[in-house]
Structures are given as C-alpha cells and as structure tokens.
Amino acid sequence: MFNSQLPPISELPSSRQLLGSTLLAGGVAAALLATVILPSEYGVDPTGIGRLFGLTEMGKIKMQLAQEAARDAAVEATLASQPAAPTVAVPGKSEAGTETGAERSDTITVKLAVGEAAEVKATATKGIQIGFDWSVAGGHVNYDTHADAPGIDYHGYGKGRESTGERGSLNAAFDGKHGWFWRNRSDAPVTITLRTTGAYTEIKRVV
C-alpha cells in the first residue's frame, strides 16, 4: 500500500540530538531577540549591537510615536467628553462675533540644540485666522501645531517629522492659546524663524 519505506531506527535522530537542536534553536532565538528585536522594536539594547547598526534609534522612534499616538487618543477621548471652553472677551471683533485685537505681524527666532524643544503660542479668540510661515536653518525638526484653553488640555491642528519649514493659516477652534511645538531631531543645532500675521492679542515663547 505504501511505496516508500520507513527509515531504519538507526537513521532517526536520537533524544540527545533532538535536545541539542532544540537548545541551538533557542539560543539563536535569544540572540535575535537581544540583538535585533529588542533594539529595533523597543529601543532596548542590552548588547550594544543594535546601536552600531542604527536599530536602537529606530526602536526609540517607534516607541516615541506609539506614546504620542496613545497621548493623542487619550486627549481626543477627554475632549469628546468635555463641554466647549468658555469665551474670553478681549477688545475688538472676530469672525465668530467674539472680541479680539487688531491685525498684527510678528517675527520670532528660536535656537535649539540637538534634542532641545521649544513652544510658541499666540492668544486668539474663536474664528481668528493666524497666518504663519516658519523655516528651519541648519537641520530639521519634528513639530506639533496645537492649542489649549481652560478645560481643554490639547487640540491638534497637525504634526510632522523631519520638517524644514511649514506655512499656512491656522483657524482658531476656540478662545485660547494656539501655536507650535518643535523638537530638534537633527544632529546639529538649528534656528527656527517664525513669522505670523493675524488679529491675535499676544504671541510669545512658552517653553
């Protein structure tokens, strides 16, 4: 019924050989875990090999992005359960009918060492358009354009990595502080120049 013959018992691997193969496979798996998987996925480098091949930095970036995603999800969930922020009245009128200041233009320069961060925010009421144009000299930065107000810890307008500059218009979603967070992720110091226009009442570096 069967054309193939069973191999003789002498050709089958012994228990010692099977144990040796199992231990060898386990050793290879442990080595890959320590030298490749932990550095590239979690930024943990117990052997130092991951740093030599750039895997540790890749793992740290993955962990940072995962933490930022978790933070954004938590903030969005909090915002969804909270009432709108109260209106803050200041001189003037905005598109939404609340009060605001006169049109103005400002230029702010920020210097960042490697790994250093900074944040600049403008105070504006709901509906105000803030035109912006920022550029990076000497490298690139990760950025997060967002806002906050009493009762609102975070409202995101957009973010990006390894940017050398952005320009556009920010429409204030509510009365509060609206602006930009940058972190120097290049390998040299950078200088950021921010130019803004709009009917906001104040703009300054807060971090």
Report the pLDDT value the prediction gives residue 191, as an integer from 0 to 100: 97
pLDDT value at 161 more than 50: yes
Could you report the per-residue pLDDT of 113-134, keeping only the tens digit for each? 999 999 999 999 999 999 999 9
| Shared domain check, 191 and 110 | yes
On whether residue 111 sits in a domain, the answer given is: yes
Residue 112 shares a structural domain with residue 62: no
Domain that holds residue 171: 103-205
C-beta separation of 174 from 84 below 8 A: yes
The lowest-confidence range among 95-109, 118-132, 134-148 is 95-109
Number of domains the chain contains: 2
Q: Could you read off the pLDDT of 175-199 as tens digits, one per residue? A: 999 999 999 999 999 999 999 999 9
- Closest by alpha carbon to 188, among 167, 164, 159? 164
Residues 179 and 126 in one domain: yes
> Same structural domain for residues 49 and 141?
no
**Distance, CA of 23 to CA of 11 (rounded, Å):** 21
pTM above 0.75, yes or no: no
The tokens describing 182, both together, are 């940058």
In this structure, is residue 44 part of a structural domain?
yes
Do residue 66 and residue 150 come from a single domain? no
Q: What is the mean pLDDT of residues 100-110?
A: 88
Residues 6 or more apart whose CB falls under 8 angstroms from that of 105 comprise: 195, 196, 197
Same domain, 199 and 118: yes
Look at residue 98 and tell me if it is in a domain. no
